[in-house]
Structure 1
């Protein structure tokens, strides 16, 4: 069997054997490069519904019972049934912290982790170990050389509940106060008369 196709450049009708599929050659008329395409197979028309796909149907029109022409609708619509997890749950309300919908009886938001129950809130406070109570060498360097940054870090750590936050703030504040006093004394020594 041969494959018939046309040259894309000049439109000449070409024929090639089945073994030439995907191979390229030159058009004998214009010399352009042409590639032999895959053969196109036409579908066969069936004479009757019997024997389609090798399946024999009973009756003369086996597909007639699929659509009787009536409008589509549910015969007995089922009432809404919530998923299994929501059946026992009650009404919902927005979380005051993040705004996500949570159960009205929830003690903790599952999205942002905010605890609403005062007893659980006390228990859920983060417990920091001994490593967070002592200041590291880097903390000391920041507290002594950059007391402004040390004060800010100490305040942040106090807000987080870390014990070393108070130490960091206290040491940084003391160092800052010490250098302020030193500056005042040096300025007063430079200008003993109090003038500019």
Structure 2
């Protein structure tokens, strides 16, 4: 017995086979996502039951049926402001670069990152840059601070401390050399 569904986007009524129950499909008319419900219970043997008439839009092809979400139509997409990839128009987070657009969700992610200490510890490479290339370490620390990464402040302070250490060594060497 075919399942009758209505597209939530264009309100077109469609019919599909029982085997499509519980799946998602694209509407052949507008491309909207349709959730196909479970098949209704079969009616008792009713000699007066009418056969559904054939409609060319009635069934979904195998390509239209999927177990996962269907891709939205091109008109339902916009470029991500951060990376430029095409994303769903009402997306709250870019699936490509991870940029969050919803201010409430953005604050929640920042709090979670701070609570777990994610990004607070400097890697070995960060330490090497901060000590051996302290000028670059200062720049990286400032950039990370602007981005809101907790390790930015630590990187800046370590790099400045190394700069200060080498300045003291240079001053002591200049004083020692002038005394001779």
Q: Is the TM value for this pair above 0.5?
A: no
TM-score, normalization by structure 2: 0.43
Say which structure, 1 or 2, has more relative contact order (CA 8 Å, 6+ apart): 2
Larger radius of gyration: 1
